[in-house]
Amino acid sequence: MALFKKYTFKGGVHPDDRKNLSSGQAIEIMPPPKIAYIPVQQHIGAPATILVKPGDEVKKGQLIAQASGFVSANIHSSINGIVKKIENLNTPIGRKSQTIIIERNDESETDFDEQHIENLDKKYIIEKIKEAGIVGLGGATFPTHVKLSPPPGKSIDTLIINGAECEPYLTCDYRIMIEKTEDFLKGVMLLKTALEVDNVYIGIEKNKPDAIHKLTEATANLPIKVIGLEVKYPQGAEKQLIYAILKKEVPSGGLPLDVGVVVQNVGTAYAIYEAIYKNKNLYERVLTVSGEGIKNPKNLLVRIGTPIAEVIEYCGGLKDDTIKVINGGPMMGIAIFDLNVPVIKGTSGILALTKEQTAIYEEHNCISCGRCVDVCPMNLVPTMIMKNIKKDFTEETEKYGAMDCIECGSCAYVCPAKINLVHYIRLAKSTIIANRRKAQQTKGASNG
């Protein structure tokens, strides 16, 4: 392999990574909340079916809502307590969901310890992952057992662990990699067994040299290659990550498994380790609480269902000049309007930005500077999609590749006219999907 080979992709942007706010903070365990708000829709796919009713006593880690259908995920209680109510409440991703409200009681919690495990087979691991309700913890929240069960005819030969953590501010995956190195690698090996693959890579951006160093040492005797990736956003986007490491392009409209690859996030691998070695379901996660508006930025292990306001309070509260709170990173995260929404499985970070970092941006006419075209990692023309969807030319937006957009936000980030390009592309996408559905229905009606 060439000495100067660069692992990167075309396009992208270089936002200031601001990771030093929290990268030095060891993962701290936040005490369980008094009341946990656990939505049954925390993942991509169908909401889970509720198994409990008000008055029921539940234990930490107990199944309280069951996956309904293949693409769905189990939901577990994150505390010992009594189910108080089931209500339709806001979630941090801007949607409402049926939420199980549990009040903690004084019953002492049992710990989950590592057990010695032998003779693991593929089926068992996948079944266990499904049971534990594990979803992609990078933020996409796609049920992991689905990703590990490729449809017949598709063969997988490579597993990539996504340790790029390319979103600014976020440091939770980094902390897992350097603090829980051995356990994390056990999780990676479990994924390798589940997928029956020979090639395993861990991709880490070069702004985390100690993580690269530590993992390179720890994997010396394991069939895992650690790759130092060039620092560029969105290096952690699945398709860009696969391209950087393998130089393979996932076909337009396709999935990583079309090129024989499965990508899993660092936090997910760690959750898989816990599910199998500790028999522990996914009821808590590591997340980063950071941003210039947070008094004491931290990396925290937080129970699912803890209100975000309490997490922020635990980190010293918000500074007065905070004007935005985000679930996730600043590039793809979702702005929160109600701080009482709970931490969910996909909450990789809680950020508070001040007016130094963000503002209400006023949109100007596009001046055709072409910056969005230059930075688009999918090689699209974002401004043409915007111009066409504004005129309701939905078919045109499809020709310009609206459906290929990964919503990384690079185009809007660099736009000097401050146009909300991603917003317009999402509008184009949903219009295209609505039109397709309509077309199908008319077809169905005429056939019937």
Partner 1 sequence: MVDNKLIISSSPQWRDNESIPKIMWTVNATLVPIWAFSIYLYGFPAFWITFLAIISAIITEHIITKLLHKPSTISDGSAVVTGILLAFNLPPDVPFWIPIIGSFVAIAIGKQIFGGLGNNPLNPALVGRAFLMASWPVEMTSKWLAPHGGTLSGLTLQGFTGATPLNIYKINLAAIKADTTEINIAATKAINGLYANWQKLFIGNIGGCIGETSALLILLGGLFLIYKKYIDWRVPFTYILTVGFLGWMFGGYQGLFSGNFLFHIFSGGLFLGAFYMLTDMVTSPITKKGRIIFAAGAGVIAITIRLAGGYPEGVSYSILLMNLVVPLIDRYVKPTKFGEVKNEK
Q: Are the beta carbons of 56 and 41 closer than 8 angstroms?
A: no
CB of 88 to partner 1, least distance (A): 20
d(CA 384, CA 397): 7
Three-state DSSP state, 183: helix
**Structural tokens at position 141:** 């929240």
CB of 252 to partner 1, least distance (A): 4
CB of 290 to partner 1, least distance (A): 13
Nearest residue to 386 via CA among 377, 373, 378? 373
Nearest residue to 406 via CA among 179, 154, 138? 138
40 vs 376 by CB, closer to partner 1? 376
The verdict on whether omega for the bond into residue 223 sits within 30 degrees of 0, i.e. cis, is: no
d(CA 217, CA 185): 12
The alpha carbons of the chain give a radius of gyration, in whole angstroms, of: 22
Query: Residues interacting with partner 1, by CB under 8 A?
Result: 10, 13, 15, 239, 243, 249-254, 309, 317-318, 320, 322-326, 330-339, 351, 353, 357-358, 360-361, 364-371, 373-374, 377-381, 383-384, 400-401, 404, 407, 409, 412-418, 420, 422-423, 426
37 vs 283 by CB, closer to partner 1? 37
- Burial class, 152, CB count within 10 angstroms (exposed 0-12 / middle 13-18 / buried 19+): exposed
Nearest residue to 187 via CA among 146, 217, 144, 152? 144
CB of 173 to partner 1, least distance (A): 19
50 vs 417 by CB, closer to partner 1? 417
CB of 113 to partner 1, least distance (A): 39
Q: Which amino acid is at 148?
A: L
430 vs 440 by CB, closer to partner 1? 430
CB of 391 to partner 1, least distance (A): 14
CB of 296 to partner 1, least distance (A): 16
140 vs 381 by CB, closer to partner 1? 381
330 vs 342 by CB, closer to partner 1? 330
- How would you list the strands of the sheet with 57-58, edge to edge? 35-39, 96-104, 81-90, 57-58
117 vs 369 by CB, closer to partner 1? 369
The distance from CA 369 to its chain's CA centroid, rounded to whole angstroms, is 32
Angle between helices 209-218 and 172-179 (to 10 degrees): 40
CB of 24 to partner 1, least distance (A): 23
Q: Are the beta carbons of 76 and 40 closer than 8 angstroms?
A: no
33 vs 256 by CB, closer to partner 1? 256
274 vs 407 by CB, closer to partner 1? 407
Tokens 């063969």 sit on residue = 155
CB of 83 to partner 1, least distance (A): 27
